Amino acid sequence: MPQVRYTQWVDRATLIRTRDEIFQLDETTDRRQAGCSRVEMWMQRGEMRIPLYVEVTGQLMAAQILWEKYFEDPEMRYMLRSAYGMAVSR
């Protein structure tokens, strides 16, 4: 008898679309931010845990987006280090 597995995403296409948005290689961050926001939404739902590799990838990419925005601002360096540290320590 097949075992049913419940996930936060509706179907495989949603997961693939999120992956493509997160790993977009052009210079715009809008789609990458949308992908990271979707992963964060999955994390906040709380009904089921998402796989750790999905969670960490979303956190690392969100930290990279913050790095691109606030790299020149010396007041934000502590926040950037904290974002990377949280993602890596998971």
Averaged pLDDT in 10-residue chunks for the chain of 90 residues: 74 88 77 88 80 88 85 82 81
Q: How far is CA 86 from CA 9, 22, 55, 75, 83, in A?
A: 24, 18, 11, 19, 5
DSSP-derived 3-state class of residue 28: coil
Question: What pLDDT shows up at residue 27?
Answer: 63
pLDDT at position 1, please? 67
Residue 8's alpha-carbon distances to 12, 22, 43, 71, in angstroms, are: 11, 17, 9, 33
- pLDDT for res 43: 86
